[in-house]
Each structure stands twice: as structure tokens, then as C-alpha cells.
Structure 1
Amino acid sequence: MRVSDLARQADTTSETVRHYTDIGLLKPFRDPGNGYRHYDVADLRLLRFALKARSLGFTLADIQSLATASEEGETPCVQVRSLIERRLEEVESRIRELQALSERMRSAMTEWQDKPDCHLDDGRVCGLIDAVVGEDEARSGR
């Protein structure tokens, strides 16, 4: 299969196939006559695996490590469980951070709703943001 054929069969883009090839995840055969890359069924399986793993939050480095372990005859399942547990903790932490940010943004929008737009002559950029940051600094004791 050529790049476009592999991409179509894996329901991804040719750019993704090229990138995964460039980083060494996919290892196509090069036709010496024309230099085209030719992929086989093993490449298709690995590409589909990589796309599924990416959808679960695994990094390309994770995927390469898992693929290498599999190629060496090991079962990477223990590593998969460990990685996904760590990724889940990271995602849940990031969700909490984003929820707190969302609350601060909503609070600011509510507070600013009736405040007029104004130009400040004291060198500040925007009084709206300064007022919120000032309140946050006062609350946090900075």
C-alpha cells in the first residue's frame, strides 16, 4: 500500500502516516525504483493501534514504547495500565484546573457586566482585569 491507501484504510490523513513514518513508528519498504514508500498489513495494524491509543491520551512516545515491547515479544499490557492510570490522573487534575478557570471567568464576566469601558491614565492596561487580579491577590495573601 502507498501512503494514501494506508491513510484511507485507517481513516486518517496522509500527513499522519508520513509523520508516524518520519518518527520511526511505521517502517515501510522503499521501492528502489521510484522511492515510494510501501506499507503492509502490519503497518496498518500498528497505525490503527496508534490512532486508538492516541484517542485514549497516550503520547507518541508511549505508543513507540508499547510497540517496541510488543515487537520484542513482551506484553505491554502492564505498561498500558500504568500509563493510562497516570494519564487519567493528569486529565482529571487538568479538568479541575479548567473548572476553576471557568468559575473565575464567569465571575469576572458577571462583575464586569455593569462596569463602563474606560481609558486609564495611570499606566495600567485594563482596569477590569486589574480589579479581578487585585481581588485574587488580596484573597490569596500575596
Structure 2
Amino acid sequence: MKAGELANRFSVNVNTVRHYVRSGLLSPDKDASGYHYFSAEEERQLAFILRARELGFTLEDIRQLLSDATSGESPCPHARELIELRLTEARQKLNSMQSLVSRMESAVREWQALPDCAPCGDHICHLIEGGHHE
């Protein structure tokens, strides 16, 4: 099947499929007209890639897991190790985003009582800079 057909089958943009080909994660053959032709193996690999991405694996992680599988090793121990790492990273990002949301909520509350100010050359936006200017 062609890239567009494969993309439709998985409800992804055809550029996603092409990106995975350029990244070397999918290695389709080319038909006589020069179009990529995706076999059942590439279809299975795309399903794996999409599921791994949903779980937070990076493209490099996926490349390594696919390499493990094609070299005859079980990728499962590596997948367990990598998901723990990605989970730690996701928790750190979540904590950072929660802190950002708290700062933003605080700013919204504080700014409600402050007036807008006209440009005077002393500041850009007193709300952000923290000074009160009339």
C-alpha cells in the first residue's frame, strides 16, 4: 500500500508516515513508479511506533527498540528501562507546568486590581515588570 493509504488506515497525516520513513523507522520498498510501497511488516511497525509515541517514547527510543527486535534480542527489558526514564521526565515536566499554572493564576488575581497604563518610556508593561505606574 502507498503512504496515503497507510496513513488513512491509522488515521494519521501522511507527513507523519513520511517523517518515519525519513527517520529510518520505516523502510518501505519502492514500486515501479517510484512510490513507497508499504508491506504488512511496515504496517505492523507503524502500529508499534504510534503506540510507543502514545506512551512517551522518543524516536530514538523507538529506533533502539526496533533495533533490539531485529537483532534477535527482546526489546522488553530495554522498554521497561526507557519507560521509567520517560515517566520521570514526564513527572518533572508536569511539576514544572503545575508551577507555571500557579504563577499564572497568581498573576491573573493580582492584575485584576491593577489599572492599565499608558506608554511612558519608563516600562514596557507594569503588570509583567511588577511596578505600579499610572
In structure 2, C-alpha distance between the alignment counterparts of 1:6 and 1:66, rounded to whole Å:
22
Q: SS in structure 1 opposite 2:21?
A: helix
Identity of aligned residues (%): 42
Q: CA RMSD in A?
A: 1.4
User: After the TM superposition, which residues 7-26 of structure 1 pair with which residues of structure 2 at under 5 Å, given as runs?
Assistant: 7-26=7-26
In structure 2, C-alpha distance between the alignment counterparts of 1:12 and 1:19, rounded to whole Å:
12
- 2:29 aligns with 29
User: After the TM superposition, which residues 32-111 of structure 1 pair with which residues of structure 2 at under 5 Å, given as runs?
Assistant: 33-111=32-110
Specify the code of the residue in structure 1 equivalent to 2:35.
Answer: Y
Is the Cα contact below 8 Å between 1:30 and 1:38 reproduced in 2? yes
Is the Cα contact below 8 Å between 1:120 and 1:127 reproduced in 2? no
In structure 1, C-alpha distance between the alignment counterparts of 2:17 and 2:68, rounded to whole Å:
21
Q: SS in structure 1 opposite 2:130?
A: helix
Give the deviation of 1:119 after TM superposition. Answer: 2.5
In structure 2, C-alpha distance between the alignment counterparts of 1:5 and 1:128, rounded to whole Å:
52
In structure 1, C-alpha distance between the alignment counterparts of 2:15 and 2:119, rounded to whole Å:
49
In structure 1, C-alpha distance between the alignment counterparts of 2:99 and 2:129, rounded to whole Å:
19
Give the deviation of 1:122 after TM superposition. Answer: 4.9
1:98-137 Cα deviation digits (max 9, x unpaired): 11111111111111101110125353211111118xxxxx
Q: Across the two proteins, how many residue pairs are aligned to each other?
A: 131
Is the Cα contact below 8 Å between 1:25 and 1:64 reproduced in 2? yes
Specify the code of the residue in structure 2 equivalent to 1:101.
Answer: L
CA gap of 1:122–1:3, structure 2 versus 1, over 3 A, is: closer
Q: Which runs of 5+ in 2 are unaligned?
A: none
